[in-house]
Structure 1
């Protein structure tokens, strides 16, 4: 179970890092032209970049606290925050008519929920 949680956290961290880098460093106009990025056309540059920074922080928060054993409780807390972020992402994609991205966000949400459940429960770092 511990291995599965590490794999899930690693996969989710890669997804968060990739999304965060694209939202932080790719121009908003270019993002608006990509599949799934249509919503950025209706958002401010500051909002898109803030989401990008939050995603980068999520990538760090899913891995680093456990690796360095400093405040490892931040791993499941970060996973819960990712669940909330994915709920917002799903609502946004529904509003902009991107149902396949809703399904993708649901998969990310499920991974984050698994990490939160596992790290708060049976495979807690504090146990």
Structure 2
């Protein structure tokens, strides 16, 4: 179970560190080609989402690695489940149903990671 957690949690952490880093570091014009939804949400909110993704990625890795508050890994994974539900709803509201494949995949991986994180509790 622990090996499966590290694989799933590691994949999620890398994905969200990259995604969150882009949202925090790039301008709206730089994000627009890959994230068309940035025009509908104020940039401070986009930056906040990016910061939350980075913190969540750290929450998947650091608590189980250090043994300090390992239950935070479960909270981080559940947070990513909620984040992907919101992202899917945003894409569907914009008529972008063809773009939700990545969201569904990330949602399923986050749900599996949350289940695997119960080994730390």
Q: Which interval holds the TM-score relative to the shorter structure? A: over 0.9
Task: State the match for 1:99 in structure 2.
Answer: 97
Task: State the match for 1:125 in structure 2.
Answer: 120
Structure 1 unaligned residues grouped into runs of 5+: none
Runs of 4+ in structure 1 over 4 Å off: none
CA contact (8 A) 1:62 1:78 kept: yes
Structure 2 unaligned residues grouped into runs of 5+: none
The root-mean-square deviation of aligned C-alpha atoms, in Å, is 1.2
Say yes or no: does 1:70 pair with 2:68: yes
Task: State the match for 2:44 in structure 1.
Answer: 46
For the residues of structure 2 that align with 1:79 and 1:63, how far apart are their CA atoms?
11
For the residues of structure 2 that align with 1:65 and 1:16, how far apart are their CA atoms?
17
Task: State the match for 1:3 in structure 2.
Answer: 3
Q: For this pair of structures, how many residues does the alignment match?
A: 121
